[in-house]
Amino acid sequence: SQQGEEDPQALSIQEGENATMNCSYKTSINNLQWYRQNSGRGLVHLILIRSNEREKHSGRLRVTLDTSKKSSSLLITASRAADTASYFCATVTVGGATNKLIFGTGTLLAVQP
């Protein structure tokens, strides 16, 4: 089963613009992670934010977390055509025995050159 939803489902922007993707989840979490997936390939980890953190940066990525609203956002600044991919949030649930990640439904980002 999926943890929650992401919106938008699809996003098309021009190179140089910023892209914002939102993720909502259902349970209390230990951490929330964002992954990227190029078409037909495996997922690549981008960034992790813990439940006691509110914002985190990594290069052109900025992630926020609002545990009261059970939501997170991923901002990609100054987007490039190479950023075209699907982006997934994933959560690790509090009390889970296995640290498994539960993924959202994903946002398909298209960056037009």
Min CB(32)–another protein separation in Å: 11
Cβ within 8 Å of residue 31, ≥6 positions away: 48, 49, 50, 51, 91, 92
Residue 31 lies near another protein (rule: CB under 8 A)? yes
Residue 57 lies near another protein (rule: CB under 8 A)? no
Residue 48 lies near another protein (rule: CB under 8 A)? yes
| Residue 9 tokens, joined | 């489902």
Residue 104 lies near another protein (rule: CB under 8 A)? yes
Cα 7 off chain centre by: 10
Binding positions for another protein, rule: CB under 8 A: 1-2, 31, 33, 35, 40-45, 48, 88, 90, 92, 97-106
